[in-house]
Amino acid sequence: MSLLLLLLLLPLLLLLLLLLLLLLLLLLLLLLLLLLILLPLLLLLTTTTTTTTITTTTTLLLLLLLLLLLLLLLLLLLLLLLLLLLLNYFNTTTTTTTTTTTTTTTTKLLLLQLLLLLLLLLLLLLLLLLLLLLLLLLLLRPQLLLLLLLLLLLLLLLLLRQQQLTTTTTTTTTTYYYYYFYYYYYYYYYFTTTTTYYYYYNFNY
């Protein structure tokens, strides 16, 4: 009974852990944004720094922010997937539960739907922030942004090539088994017909 309860509570515990991780990453993102705003100003106030160092530090902070944003987006996608699975689970259990447990299940459903809506809004805000950071990076270092886009395009091409190779391998294997079974059936049919003809000829003549 305790094992069954643990299995039922495991998705909720995983959801809470992912939410805590999301909050920590959001705090880190806010700190980096503050650094991105304040650090160039502090560097401008000092007399020894040049524009090159300010541009370099700002670019590094932008790259860190972009990496953190990508991690946040991946985490948000995992959370949304888990929430959709939980909503599907609670939707299916509401039709099979009794009236005493229906109210608690519907409240859980409402809370999960509210959390899903908040996460979707957060995902939209993070995408807007990602676009803003890409624009800043384009203004500061256009060649670096072009290099990142080329790397992303190369990664997508590699993934498509891998998908094409797996599809070709599956098709080749299926074709091989098809011909194997075809020739097997052909020889089996040939063997049975010749054997039947041989026995029929010997017994009648």
CB atoms within 10 A of CB 85: 12
Band (pLDDT 50/70/90 cuts) for residue 153 is: confident
Mean pLDDT for 53-82 is 78
Q: How far apart are CA 142 and CA 136, in angstroms?
A: 9
> How confident is the model over 164-203, as pLDDT tens digits?
766 655 555 555 555 555 555 555 555 555 544 444 444 4
pLDDT band at 8 (very low <50, low <70, confident <90, very high): low
In angstroms, the CA 152 to CA 17 distance is 30
In a domain, 46, yes or no: no
- The answer to whether residue 73 is domain-embedded is yes
- Does 149 map to a domain? no
Q: What is the pLDDT of residues 33-42, one digit of tens each?
A: 777 777 766 7
CA 101 to each of CA 1, 15, 60, 92, 105: distance values in angstroms, whole numbers, following the listed order: 18, 22, 53, 13, 6
The answer as to whether 111 is a domain residue is yes
Q: Identify the domain containing residue 136 by its residue range.
A: 14-37+52-140
Q: Is residue 72 part of a domain?
A: yes
Examine the pLDDT at 55 and tell me if it is beyond 70: yes
Closest CA to 29 of 66, 57, 55: 66
Amino acid residing at 172: T
| 81: CB partners within 8 A, 6+ apart | none
What pLDDT does residue 5 have?
Answer: 55
Question: Count of domains in the chain?
Answer: 1
pLDDT for 204 beyond 60: no
Stated pTM of the model:
0.56
Asked if residue 33 is part of any domain, the answer here is yes
Let me know if residue 169 belongs to a domain. no
Q: Is residue 43 part of a domain?
A: no
